[in-house]
Amino acid sequence: MRGKLLLLAGALMAGSGAAPAPEAQPLSIGVQGLRSMKGDLLICVARSAAYFPDCSKDPQKRHLVVPATSAAIPLGDMAPGTYAIAIIHDENGNGKLDTFAGIPREGVGFSRNPAIRFGAPSFRSAQFAMTGSAVRQDVKIKYFL
């Protein structure tokens, strides 16, 4: 009996090294619904709910500022895992989301395009998986004012 258990354990260990670990793959976004091409897009790619949607203090963040565009935006290669994206259309170029009485004055969007009600959606509602193949997220920008 003991010999069979050792043989089984050895087979499992040998089999676990047979498949290579998934490598980082490209992530890109398409931005839809911009009301103008003024300003910049502030893009935050987070791996943790603790740092979403504001990834400024995330040690693993990927934060980009790109000119407003509706063309595909490459975000680089991402390791396999779960991510969520938040986008601000910073029309006036001041580097932050402007609000009036707590309502965004500039456009916002999130991966998987979850419903936006009172505040930003949860990480869970915006999350998507990088599983070893290229991923493109199409994000619809929404304006409230």
The Cα–Cα gap between 50 and 58 comes to 8
DSSP H helices, 17-144, are 123-126
In Å, what is the CA distance from 135 to each residue of 14, 15, 87? 32, 29, 17
**Tens digits of residue pLDDT in 32-87:** 999 999 999 999 999 999 999 998 888 888 999 999 998 999 999 999 999 999 99
> Would you state the pLDDT for residue 21?
61
In this prediction the pTM is: 0.84
Q: How far is CA 34 from the centre of its chain?
A: 19
| Strand pairing class (25-32; 135-140) | parallel
> Would you state the pLDDT for residue 10?
46
**Tens digits of residue pLDDT in 78-122:** 999 999 999 999 999 999 999 999 999 999 999 999 999 889 999
Res. 5: pLDDT tops 80: no
Q: In CATH, what is the architecture of 21-140? A: Sandwich (2.60)
Q: Which two tokens stand for residue 101?
A: 């009485």
